[in-house]
């Protein structure tokens, strides 16, 4: 898949998702999720898992059924390394924001036992981030990860950390509601002295990121680092009344993103 649909608005600020977009922290994340799932009953969440027939896709329904029965992730889900903990909780609990809040809180406790290693999702990202900054763009990073962990991870990635790339950083516990709520985007733009507008691009790898961007009124670029094919993208973005949110553009890697941005600055 090549670049699809050039966004209409000239970018002034690029906000990036952290996990599975800029960096890879899959191992620790899945360990922590599988620590949380066996506790769903004691957390009062067992009966708050949605019914499989309420799922958006057949694969979501399969995940729901497996967790309902075994209270862990299917090994193939972990092996594929294509779904985040936020999406997992969205799939399991749907519109039940309180249940998702409880699950995220428990994840925070579990993640403390596993976090540490963090690697760039692509070797090209440091160069791409440097080029974007040199073009005069503001660059930020948003994450559902708590600040306790993000402060470590942003300094642990690469040879000397990536903190210097970003003009703003917003973490999950900096806002009232995590993505897919738009709060973190609003906070990042506010700290930059900006209002939500289409010149703010939010780049992320999940449907959660797309929903947050659309609810915030900014441009969404879907980062397809997981390598989903077109059929799968059509499934997760069905453009229905119940699931209306679709990205404004798709890129497969950071160099495609850089090329996309450069088209606005000939």
CB-based burial label for 198 (10 Å; 0-12, 13-18, 19+): middle
By the 8 A CB rule, do 188 and 15 touch?
Answer: yes
What CA dihedral angle connects 181, 219, 89 and 92, to 10 degrees? 100
Q: Name 188's Cβ contacts closer than 8 Å, sequence gap at least 6.
A: 15, 140, 142, 168, 170
The number of helix segments (H) and strand segments (E) in the chain equals: 11, 8
Per-residue pLDDT tens over the stretch 63-91: 999 999 999 999 999 998 888 999 999 99
180 shares a domain with 105: no
Evaluate if residue 2 carries a pLDDT over 80. Answer: no
Q: Which of 79, 111, 143 lies at the terminal end of a domain, its last residue? A: 111
Q: How confident is the model at residue 117 (pLDDT cuts 50, 70, 90)?
A: confident
128 shares a domain with 216: yes
C-alpha 209/C-alpha 216 separation (Å) is 11
Per-residue pLDDT tens over the stretch 137-146: 999 999 999 9
249 shares a domain with 203: yes
**Alpha helices, DSSP H only, in 58-113?**
58-70, 75-80, 85-93, 97-111
128 shares a domain with 91: no
Evaluate if residue 4 carries a pLDDT over 60. Answer: no
C-alpha 10/C-alpha 197 separation (Å) is 11
In a domain, 1, yes or no: no
17 shares a domain with 142: yes
Task: State phi, psi for 21 to the nearest 5 degrees.
Answer: -115, -70
Total-model pTM: 0.90
């Amino acid at each position: 898949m090549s670049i699809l649909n050039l966004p209409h608005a000239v970018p002034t600020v690029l906000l990036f998702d952290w996990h599975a977009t800029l960096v890879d922290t899959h191992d620790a994340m899945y360990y922590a999720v599988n620590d949380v799932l066996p506790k769903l009953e004691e957390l009062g969440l067992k009966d708050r898992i949605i019914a499989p027939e309420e799922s958006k896709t057949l694969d979501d329904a399969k995940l729901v059924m497996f967790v309902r029965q075994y209270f862990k992730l299917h090994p193939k889900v972990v092996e594929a390394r294509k779904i985040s903990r936020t999406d997992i909780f969205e799939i399991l609990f749907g519109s039940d924001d309180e249940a998702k809040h409880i699950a995220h809180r428990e994840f925070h406790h579990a993640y403390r036992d596993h976090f540490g290693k963090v690697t760039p999702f692509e070797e090209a990202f440091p160069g791409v981030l440097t080029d974007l900054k040199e073009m005069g763009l503001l660059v930020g990073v948003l994450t559902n990860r708590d600040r306790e962990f993000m402060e470590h991870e942003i300094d642990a990635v690469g040879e000397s950390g990536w903190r210097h790339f970003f003009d703003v950083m917003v973490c999950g516990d900096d806002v009232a509601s995590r993505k897919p709520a738009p709060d973190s985007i609003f906070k990042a733009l506010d700290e930059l002295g900006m209002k939500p507008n289409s010149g703010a691009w939010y780049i992320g790898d999940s449907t959660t990121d797309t929903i947050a961007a659309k609810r915030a009124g900014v441009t969404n670029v879907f980062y397809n680092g997981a390598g989903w094919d077109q059929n799968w993208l059509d499934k997760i973005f069905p453009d229905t009344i119940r699931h209306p949110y679709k990205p404004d553009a798709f890129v497969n890697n950071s160099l495609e993103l850089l090329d996309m941005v450069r088209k606005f600055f000939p």
